[in-house]
């Protein structure tokens, strides 16, 4: 009997999956596809090197690049091994993050292969999926969505899900430790944005099933960051993990800057029992936070005040009044640091009728009076 090799590459596993589907019109578990690829592999382990990355690649060239990434027959992933080599990941299964990340590793990246059916599974880390080309079938509890090219999906920890790809579908997946969001991405999470509130809520709650979807319109800058994540994964040096976290931080900053108005939440739709246009709702809150009340928004979107209050609490982990307060103070904080407006003018802009009430809230939030920021900012502007 032929002895299997200990390593193959993603392209070889793809070929097995394509051949099986063409012949039998069925999907195949990844472990079986990997085993068949290893049986047909004649090259030795040391002949497989991580492919060299020379700059931004077209979609086809990136597909080929990923196809040359080594995948090992092992039960423990290494920085250049494929997370899909963990056979226990398949089926109704809970996967702990320590089984996907080596020591000192905060981020792992791989591709969902066509014609593989993982089955429903959950895990205690964040999973991020980008539809690089084609489509992706996303299953979440009783929901089935077909994600289009350019969609970016964020799955909260402890959320049962399954993702399937078919011919010519190219899906990039990023696994991020839950602890990494809390430590390395604190600068983003501390911002009073709706996305930050989603992550803060997911971080502090256990067994809270949720996802978020963005539409990125195939922005090349985001694709460039994804390609660089793969390139860094193969470096295996003292800097690759730091560089990967930095790249992912840039990815999220760009996502927030350019596509935050496309966000769609699962919990919003679940609570309403019907289609909930959370994009429109969040956009309305962002544009009118300085004047709106709970009653205003509830009437605008034809919800009762009690339901809308529950909707906000469910998705953001805070009450409507706290969410609005934080948005107002965050905007005021930026104006104090980067403008020459007076305190009275800033209060008018962000929706505070009383300067003294604003000052008390600001000091409680930031630990310093707004007047100190205002004076230092004024000193930095040229005087006539």
Contacts of 98 (CB under 8 A, 6+ apart): none
**Choice between 141 and 370, residue whose per-residue pLDDT is larger:** 370
For domain 278-372, which architecture applies?
A: Orthogonal Bundle (1.10)
Q: Which two three-digit tokens encode residue 184? A: 């390395």
By the 8 A CB rule, do 137 and 164 touch? yes
Assess whether pLDDT exceeds 70 at residue 71: yes
Average pLDDT score over residue span 354-364? 94
Instruction: Annotate 238-259 with three-state secondary structure.
Output: CCHHHHHHHHHHHHHHHHHHHH
Please state the φ and ψ torsions of residue 304, each to the nearest 5 degrees. Answer: -75, 155
* Domains of the chain, residue spans: 1-78, 89-267, 278-372
Report in angstroms the alpha-carbon separations of 296 from 39, 194, 305, 367.
65, 19, 9, 31
Q: Which two three-digit tokens encode residue 88? A: 């226990």
Q: What is the pLDDT of residue 297?
A: 87
**Whole-angstrom distance, CA of residue 184 vs CA of residue 96:** 20
Of 30-39, 149-158, 184-193, 224-233, which has the strongest mean pLDDT? 224-233
Q: What is the pLDDT of residue 5?
A: 65
Assess whether pLDDT exceeds 70 at residue 59: yes
**Whole-angstrom distance, CA of residue 374 vs CA of residue 369:** 9
Which secondary structure element, helix H or strand E, spans residue 67, and what is its range?
Answer: helix 59-67
| Local confidence band at 322 (pLDDT 50, 70, 90 cut-offs) | very high
Q: What is the pLDDT of residue 374?
A: 53
Q: What is the pLDDT of residue 151?
A: 97
Average pLDDT score over residue span 131-145? 91
State the average pLDDT for the chain. Answer: 81
Task: Output the CA torsion 321→322→326→328 (10° steps).
Answer: 10
Q: What is the pLDDT of residues 157-214, one digit of tens each?
A: 888 888 999 999 999 999 998 878 767 666 666 665 666 666 666 655 555 677 888 9
Q: What is the pLDDT of residue 86?
A: 36
The hierarchical CATH code for the domain 89-267 is 2.60.120.280
Number of helices followed by number of strands (H, E) in the chain:
16, 13
């Amino acid at each position: 009997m032929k002895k299997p090799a200990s390593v193959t590459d993603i392209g070889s596993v793809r070929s097995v999956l394509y051949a099986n589907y063409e012949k039998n019109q069925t999907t195949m578990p990844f472990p079986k596809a990997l085993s068949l690829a290893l049986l047909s592999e004649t090259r030795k382990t040391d002949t497989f090197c991580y492919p060299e990355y020379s700059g931004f690649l077209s979609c086809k060239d990136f597909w080929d690049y990923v196809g040359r990434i080594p995948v090992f027959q092992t039960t423990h992933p290494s920085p250049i091994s494929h997370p899909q080599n963990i056979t226990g990941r398949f089926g109704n299964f809970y996967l702990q993050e320590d089984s996907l990340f080596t020591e000192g590793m905060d981020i792992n990246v791989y591709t969902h292969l066509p014609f593989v059916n993982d089955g429903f599974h959950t895990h205690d880390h964040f999973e991020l999926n980008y539809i690089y080309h084609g489509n992706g079938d996303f299953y979440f509890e009783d929901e089935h969505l077909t994600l289009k090219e350019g969609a970016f999906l964020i799955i909260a920890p402890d959320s049962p899900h399954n993702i399937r790809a078919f011919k010519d579908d190219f899906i990039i997946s990023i696994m991020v430790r839950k602890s990494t969001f809390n430590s390395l991405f604190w600068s983003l999470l501390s911002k009073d944005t709706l996305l930050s509130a989603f992550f803060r809520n997911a971080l502090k709650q256990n067994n809270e099933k949720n996802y978020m979807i963005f539409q990125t319109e195939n922005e090349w800058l985001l694709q460039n960051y994804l390609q660089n994540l793969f390139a860094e994964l193969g470096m295996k040096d003292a800097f690759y993990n730091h560089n990967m976290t930095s790249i992912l931080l840039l990815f999220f900053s760009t996502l927030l800057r350019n596509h935050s108005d496309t966000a769609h939440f699962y919990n919003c739709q679940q609570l309403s029992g019907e289609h909930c246009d959370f994009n429109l709702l969040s956009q309305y809150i962002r544009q009118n936070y300085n004047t709106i009340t709970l009653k205003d928004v509830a009437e605008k979107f034809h919800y009762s005040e009690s339901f809308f209050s529950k909707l906000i609490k469910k998705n953001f982990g805070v009450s409507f009044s706290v969410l609005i307060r934080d948005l107002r103070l965050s905007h005021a904080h930026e104006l104090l640091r980067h403008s020459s407006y007076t305190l009275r003018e800033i209060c008018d802009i962000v929706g505070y009728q009383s300067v003294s009430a604003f000052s008390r809230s600001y000091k409680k939030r930031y630990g310093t009076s707004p007047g100190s920021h205002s004076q230092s900012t004024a000193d930095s502007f040229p005087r006539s």
